Structure 1
């Protein structure tokens, strides 16, 4: 009598769950980077990855020609849905909204193009795009998908995608940081900031602030922060001077945030503030201070970004 309880190891369906898992895990860092680029929020990107995984487990893998492209397509669609929801949340956000900062390994900076596109400055530029434009720009410029693949991901024709890509590139080009900014230049600007904090002398900092510098503080209505942008070198310097004692108490330390040098400010060992900046033509044109505790939770460990 045949043993009906025994299963054969040659059954192709028996390996399907493992194959689906292996494929997803192999592309997970890529998918997280796609979602984060589209959302500017690591917490929402993780939710998108969970939704992508649930959708992926129901896919018949025999029908998938390109697993990487298919997973990116799922992730993009889920992220676009969430991006629209996130837009509504931002409308009621208390004070300026900044992207969630990520502690990244120094090797992220070695991929110059990726580091540029995940920088705080670039993510703020991407915030000015329509959701569909942002998706097309990210998939084309960062992940180098062809127009046909992008068209499938965003449910548009290749012709429409080309038009969206052109419009998005023009929009970003007019707003992105000007010129190549080296890590050394960024570290020098941060060192000037730290000297000002350590010595109480803001003159060195004033020397490298652009006349139209913008300071944005994100407290999310939880931590103390300016409720509107502070514009102009004198106004920014005055605001920093007013909070200099508090800044000094937070013990600034260097870190790599979103692929670029930045400062972490701690109180009693706890990260209280992330300070990043934007440089244009050697001057600081943007200072970004993230204090919302909900956006600092991931900074206890490095996040791997990949494309």
Structure 2
């Protein structure tokens, strides 16, 4: 079996671009790093690095091994955390994958319910927007969004539960001319500078792009981010307009204004996928019930 520590060193050398750089980051000597790499090469039977002048280049085999080892190392790190939790008397855990607005608006309620019912439980929350290639392990509850007019999403090994449908609204600087209207037609945004909050082209970004295409234009983005808080800050500075789901539009500063959209309106559906897990069935059910509660409250407030 390959020593995980040597895989960590391999990834560090590739990331740093040199043995000396990796050694400094790992607090090891360059000789120790080189020795681990030689042992790993013997264990795998692979040529991992080739000399280039006074430096080295990772071979395609090394790059592939480093990439493939990422998930295994992440699982081992999670196992180490689980062992530490068990030693500390925290015997249960539940993992959520969700997008940032759900983490901010809904997860405090869900975690609070879980803490009341299962005080020894550790709750892990992965922000899926920051992992565009997918998370490295299976979450117990995976919260996603999808278009309301598209085919429903399904995940193998998970049960599907619709939590809410919500509109996306236009966010404007408070002194923008369109603030004088109660409703803004999508076509009126054709020549506006846009702030994108979904640089990874996730489901919400795709919903927005499709609505713009239906209205007959392509957004003219002047800035692109992977964080809706940053997008709001740029909008508040008067640099453009943005479009966000209502769950993300709480406690806005006074220099921003929200307007509903028409022609077409823009909507998304929020869906929870629960993993079939016999050991965690009770805690997963409790978490799903809490999600439904807070989603219902959010829909009522939105209406």
TM-score, normalised on structure 2? Answer: 0.24
User: Greater share of helix residues, 1 or 2?
Assistant: 1
The structure whose Rg is larger is 2
Larger fraction in strand: 2
